[in-house]
């Protein structure tokens, strides 16, 4: 379904962990998903920008309480616009990604506000908002895949931006399978289901 571990973590390492993402709407999502499958056949993408990368919850914290905390914090965080920029490669992890040209400060603020309490976690890499295009690839393939992605991105004629107004709290339940646990809206109060 989705793979919010664009920092190069192995999918097996994140089983049981949670992440917070904002899904990208179509037609941009369809373009990005098609590109990702072209570059890394067999992947199961769902285009998104990650707010909180995969992390375990603290043992003494209930998932429902964690969701309620996210809801409360997001009430004060208004929706905002994100526009992807250029295709790049994370050198240490060989992840091909789209950088963020607009909305990076807001994404970092969401991360700062939400990466505390039961959600606090120190990732292997500093938080760097991006949209993953290809990951888990051999290092020697990254430059070639990045070049293909640049060419395809340059030819894309659809909308290049989207509004982050809702977030999805997701859990890694099986290899390459993330499931939505809750949807949280930015800037408004949304009751948490029983």
**Among the CATH numbers 3.40.50.2300, 3.90.1140.10, 3.60.15.10, 3.40.50.1820, which is that of 11-185?**
3.90.1140.10
**Per-residue pLDDT, 12:** 55
What would the pLDDT profile of 41-51 be if each residue is shown by its tens digit? 988 899 999 99
Please check whether residue 149 is in contact with residue 84, taking contact to mean a CB–CB distance below 8 angstroms.
no
pLDDT tens digits for 149-190? 999 999 999 999 999 999 999 999 888 789 999 999 988 644
Residue 142 predicted with pLDDT over 70: yes
CA distances from 180 to 1, 21, 35, 81, 168 (A): 10, 10, 23, 23, 6
The pLDDT of 65-79, averaged and rounded, is 90
pLDDT at 55: 92
Whole-structure pTM value: 0.86
Is 28's pLDDT higher than 50? yes
């Amino acid at each position: 379904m989705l793979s919010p571990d664009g920092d190069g973590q192995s999918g097996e390492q994140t089983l049981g962990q949670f992440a917070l993402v904002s899904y990208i709407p179509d037609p941009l999502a369809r373009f990005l998903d098609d590109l990702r499958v072209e570059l890394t056949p067999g992947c199961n993408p769902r285009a998104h920008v990650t707010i909180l990368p995969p992390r375990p919850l603290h043992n003494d914290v209930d998932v429902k309480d964690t969701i309620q905390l996210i809801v409360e914090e997001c009430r004060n965080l208004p929706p905002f616009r994100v526009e992807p920029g250029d295709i790049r490669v994370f050198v240490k992890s060989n992840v091909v990604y789209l950088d963020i040209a607009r909305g990076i400060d807001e994404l970092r603020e969401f991360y700062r506000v939400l990466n505390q309490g039961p959600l606090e976690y120190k990732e292997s890499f500093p938080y760097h908002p991006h949209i993953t295009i290809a990951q888990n690839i051999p290092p020697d393939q990254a430059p070639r895949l990045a070049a293909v992605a640049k060419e395809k991105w340059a030819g894309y004629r659809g909308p290049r931006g989207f509004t982050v107004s809702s977030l999805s709290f997701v859990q890694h339940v099986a290899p390459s399978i993330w499931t939505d646990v809750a949807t949280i809206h930015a800037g408004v109060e949304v009751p948490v289901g029983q």
